[in-house]
């Protein structure tokens, strides 16, 4: 779990930090890497019953899929840029309200992705998809 404004949200690497700015308008610091070093891409896990039934394990699996997607990366960069522009033109109180809205939207989206992933896994397991 993580918290931006005192609210606990599921720990989802693919969402937390990819779009949400802090109250001060900054995005979380990137992970330190040696110059010229590329982060090796881990093998994608195969979905199984234990992963689908464990919210944290499912979030990790979805993170690995989404981190590889160039379109997802492009959208995340665009959202960060728009958030930075917005932060410069609104009051502290308005920014706080925006972050609360963003947290609620994020929680809804995370739940939807987890729900669809579980449903898709069950459909494939039954041979209906």
Each residue's pLDDT expressed in tens, for the chain with a length of 129 residues: 444 444 444 444 444 444 455 555 555 555 455 556 666 666 787 888 888 888 888 888 888 888 889 999 999 999 999 999 999 999 999 999 999 999 999 999 989 988 998 888 888 865 544
- Element (H or E) spanning 3, and its range? strand 2-3
pTM greater than the 0.75 cutoff = no
Total domains, the chain: 1
Is residue 18 situated within a structural domain? Answer: yes
Question: In the numeric block, which tokens belong to residue 95?
Answer: 């920014």
Closest by CA to 27, choosing from 106, 105, 81, 63, is 81
Identify whether 33 is part of a domain: no
Whether 30 is covered by a domain: the verdict is no
Which domain, by its residues, includes 16?
10-25+43-126
Q: Is residue 101 part of a domain?
A: yes
**CB-neighbour burial class of residue 39 (10 A; exposed 0-12, middle 13-18, buried 19+):** exposed
Q: Does the residue 35 lie in any domain?
A: no
CB 15 within 8 A of CB 110: yes
């Amino acid at each position: 779990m993580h918290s931006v404004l005192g609210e606990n949200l599921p720990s989802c690497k693919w969402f937390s930090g990819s779009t949400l700015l802090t109250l001060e308008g900054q995005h979380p610091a990137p992970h330190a890497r040696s110059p010229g070093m590329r982060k090796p891409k881990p093998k994608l896990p195969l979905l199984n019953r234990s992963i689908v039934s464990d919210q944290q394990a499912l979030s990790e699996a979805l993170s690995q899929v989404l981190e590889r997607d160039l379109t997802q990366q492009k959208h995340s960069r665009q959202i960060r840029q728009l958030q930075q522009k917005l932060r410069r033109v609104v009051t502290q109180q308005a920014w706080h309200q925006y972050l609360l809205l963003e947290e609620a939207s994020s929680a809804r989206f995370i739940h939807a992705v987890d729900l669809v992933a579980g449903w898709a896994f069950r459909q494939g397991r039954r041979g209906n998809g």
